Amino acid sequence: MTFSQIPAVIGASLQAQGYNQLTPVQSAVIEDEAKGRDLLVSAQTGSGKTVAFGLAMAEQLLEGDAVPTPASPLALVIAPTRELALQVSRELTWLYAQTGARIVTCVGGMNPSAERRELERGATVVVGTPGRLRDHLERGALHLSRLRVAVLDEADEMLDMGFREDLEEILDATPAERRSLMFSATMPAPIAALARQYQTDSLRISTMSESRGHGDIEYKAITVAPADIEHAVINLLRLHEAQTAILFCATRDNVKHLHASLMERGFSAVALSGEHSQSERNNALQALRDQRARVCVATDVAARGIDLPSLSLVVHVEIPRDAETLQHRSGRTGRAGKKGTAVLIVPYPRRRRVESMLRGARIQAEWGEAPGPEEIHAADRTRLLEKLLLPVEAEDEDRAIAQELLEKVSAEDLALALVRTHRAAMPAPEELIGNSPQAKQQRERPGFEDVVWFSMDVGRNQRADPRWLLPLLCRRGHITRNAVGAIRISAKQTHFQIPRDQAEQFERAVARTASGNDEFESTIVIERAAETPREAARENRREGRREGGYERGGDRDGGREGGRPHYKARPSQGGPRGPRNGGGERAAGGGFKGRPKKGR
């Protein structure tokens, strides 16, 4: 087909790249009303924005079918991260391949001396990150006096990352008559303010659907016990068996922790965060493209600009800080017409907050529970049968070996060995505690209609966890685990239920074992609670208001976004160290293993 509104040399590049038609945002920027004007464009991630502004600025760059060899750049593209800048550079390189344009990339983590030499040789288009571009500008290596067009890609993200001062210094160095194009997935007030400052009579273009939710992404939200977040991640990866998946965490430490946990369980995973060098990031991305790795654990910033065609699953391990972040993260999948799945892992106390975020983003998400072993085994069975029943092409040597095996063992034993071989390569699914109302109802059992609440003077601050609390209670109270009902862990205390008809016996046993041989266990005070966990939480909140605030990590739901996830608790001085933090609730009758170390 032909692209009538596009210069022939650009249209030829599009056809060579396999383009049959333009996306809505690409069509919008080349309409007659958009030509020559400043543009303020909002379009969802993966909609072809890079090619869109490449088409839009062709009018300023081309002289006939070629671009001149300028003494200084004619176009400048600013992107928030190295990966996005490198991706933009690759896209513009093939788009302008037949025009003679020189594309130069200037990003952090690369050799600045080599970049300065490239700039001295002459560049038609410079693509870079704000910090590196500002550095070249201040050192006199980047000259913008002849600039014809400036592009801000992912402008909202650059402001969120604190690059406003860098952007202002760069844009102030450009000619007043230059054209300005601002592209962004969202358009918050700071972007509008920046547009008023640096654009003139700009045309507002929006190709975002009214629903705002990406049409090619299926959103799911699963509620879990806070202690089950990591287990839920593992089960999601096992259930979906995605060709490529990305897991979002809030901090570098959380990325490192989750990446190590996945590697320990046998997943082929890579990590991306601010602590990784450019070489390490490039190697990680190449491993994902080559399918040597199938899972990427990343922070929000490190994942900007990642374009993986095989990415079909995004998991929000930690709740996004806002609706825009939710969309940016989820937009890594469902690109170029392909379908994708985005899953939010929601600790049950934070469900209302996530529901509010989804309403703000106008996203319809399917709510449910984390997949359990039974569901995963059923999916494994289906996938395994489909794979093993496919036609097999084999050489004569392979057939000879197969025939020899059939002579020595039965066909049933051979099939069994084949199934076991396939299963051995799959990490085992995790058992989940469960923390939704439905799960609680299913776990309720007779004998706990009338209970007495007891308390212990350890909580999340001491890394309290049902997996070691339950055996401790059995030893101290001379009871079986079936006699312990719900366990509710707060910051400094743990409350648990004992049936009323066993309460006095338990209380006497606890008193007798208070001076036992175990130095650590005997220091934990266990006594009949003066108030229920709900009443204790209200009192804690009142005390927090009187003292001028809440203690971090206390009972208040939500907490500060961007902090540590529930699956990785901060150790406290001198306190026990359980296998993982609690923060959740163990309902009656569950069983756990392990006990803490005795302190540090």
Whether 140 and 247 map to the same domain: the answer is no
Range of the domain at 199: 8-206
Average pLDDT over residues 466-489: 87
Question: Who's near 517: CB < 8 A, 6+ residues apart?
Answer: none
Which of 55-64, 105-114, 183-192, 469-478 shows the lowest mean pLDDT across its residues? 183-192
What is the predicted pLDDT for the residue at 522? 74
What is the predicted pLDDT for the residue at 471? 87
**SS3 state at 342:** strand
Which of 68-72, 91-95, 145-149 shows the lowest mean pLDDT across its residues? 68-72
pLDDT tens readout for residues 396-453: 888 888 888 888 888 888 888 888 887 777 888 888 765 444 455 544 556 677 889 9
What is the predicted pLDDT for the residue at 335? 66
pLDDT above 80 for 593: no
The count of domains in the chain is 4
pLDDT above 50 for 180: yes
Whether 338 and 382 map to the same domain: the answer is no
What is the predicted pLDDT for the residue at 540? 65
* Confidence grade of residue 518 (pLDDT, cut at 50, 70, 90): low
Query: Is 332 inside any structural domain?
Result: yes
Whether 259 and 232 map to the same domain: the answer is yes
Residue 42 maps to which CATH number? Answer: 3.40.50.300
Whether 417 and 358 map to the same domain: the answer is no
* Confidence grade of residue 531 (pLDDT, cut at 50, 70, 90): confident
Query: Is 224 inside any structural domain?
Result: yes
d(CA 392, CA 388): 9
Whether 340 and 249 map to the same domain: the answer is yes
Query: Is 35 inside any structural domain?
Result: yes
What is the predicted pLDDT for the residue at 215? 54
Of residues 297 and 392, more confidence is placed in 297
pLDDT tens readout for residues 356-389: 899 888 888 999 989 988 899 899 888 888 887 8
Of residues 63 and 443, more confidence is placed in 63
What is the predicted pLDDT for the residue at 40? 92
What is the predicted pLDDT for the residue at 597? 44
Whether 233 and 287 map to the same domain: the answer is yes
Strand partners, 498: 452
Note whether 194 and 182 are within 8 A (CB). Answer: yes
pLDDT tens readout for residues 115-164: 999 999 999 999 999 999 999 999 999 999 999 999 999 888 788 778 89
Average pLDDT over residues 9-34: 88
Of residues 555 and 479, more confidence is placed in 479
Which of 83-87, 295-299, 442-446 shows the lowest mean pLDDT across its residues? 442-446
Query: Is 440 inside any structural domain?
Result: no
d(CA 214, CA 334): 8
Query: Is 467 inside any structural domain?
Result: yes
Q: State the virtual CA torsion across 40, 42, 47, 50 in degrees, nearest 10.
A: 30
Residue where a domain stops, chosen among 180, 206, 232 = 206
Average pLDDT over residues 100-122: 91
What is the predicted pLDDT for the residue at 188? 75
Q: Is 265 exposed, middle or buried (0-12, 13-18, 19+ CB in 10 A)?
A: middle
Whether 66 and 137 map to the same domain: the answer is yes
Task: Give Cα 568 to chain centroid, integer Å.
Answer: 16
* Confidence grade of residue 55 (pLDDT, cut at 50, 70, 90): very high
Average pLDDT over residues 259-266: 91
Residue 540: which of 563, 524, 562, 557 has the closest Cα? Answer: 557
d(CA 361, CA 430): 32
Start-end of H helices in 265-310: 278-289
What is the predicted pLDDT for the residue at 46? 66
Query: Is 113 inside any structural domain?
Result: yes
List phi, psi (to 5°) of 111.
Answer: -75, 110
Note whether 137 and 144 are within 8 A (CB). Answer: yes
Whether 275 and 201 map to the same domain: the answer is no
d(CA 519, CA 157): 53
Tokens of residue 462, six digits: 């001491």
Whether 482 and 414 map to the same domain: the answer is no
Whether 383 and 501 map to the same domain: the answer is no
What is the predicted pLDDT for the residue at 337? 60
What is the predicted pLDDT for the residue at 445? 55
Q: Is 169 exposed, middle or buried (0-12, 13-18, 19+ CB in 10 A)?
A: middle
Of residues 350 and 584, more confidence is placed in 350
pTM: 0.54
Average pLDDT over residues 74-97: 90
Average pLDDT across the chain, whole number: 81
What is the predicted pLDDT for the residue at 544? 56
Of residues 196 and 332, more confidence is placed in 196
Whether 482 and 380 map to the same domain: the answer is no
Tokens of residue 552, six digits: 């971090």
Neighbouring C-beta atoms of residue 558, cutoff 10 Å: 11
Of residues 492 and 334, more confidence is placed in 492
What is the predicted pLDDT for the residue at 547? 44
Whether 76 and 183 map to the same domain: the answer is yes
Residue where a domain stops, chosen among 171, 206, 241 = 206
pLDDT above 80 for 297: yes
pLDDT tens readout for residues 533-570: 777 776 666 655 544 433 333 333 333 333 333 333 33
Work out the percent of the chain whose per-residue pLDDT is above 70: 82
What DSSP state is assigned to residue 14? H
Of residues 589 and 166, more confidence is placed in 166
Query: Is 597 inside any structural domain?
Result: no
What is the predicted pLDDT for the residue at 519? 67
Q: State the virtual CA torsion across 75, 78, 83, 86 in degrees, nearest 10.
A: 10
d(CA 412, CA 415): 5
What is the predicted pLDDT for the residue at 129? 93
Work out the percent of the chain whose per-residue pLDDT is above 90: 31
Note whether 361 and 326 are within 8 A (CB). Answer: yes
Cα–Cα distance list, 139 to 79, 112, 582 (Å): 20, 11, 53
Q: Where are the beta strands (DSSP E) in 72-216?
A: 75-78, 103-106, 125-128, 149-153, 179-184, 203-206
Start-end of H helices in 361-484: 373-388, 396-408, 411-424, 437-443, 466-477
Query: Is 328 inside any structural domain?
Result: yes
What is the predicted pLDDT for the residue at 123? 92
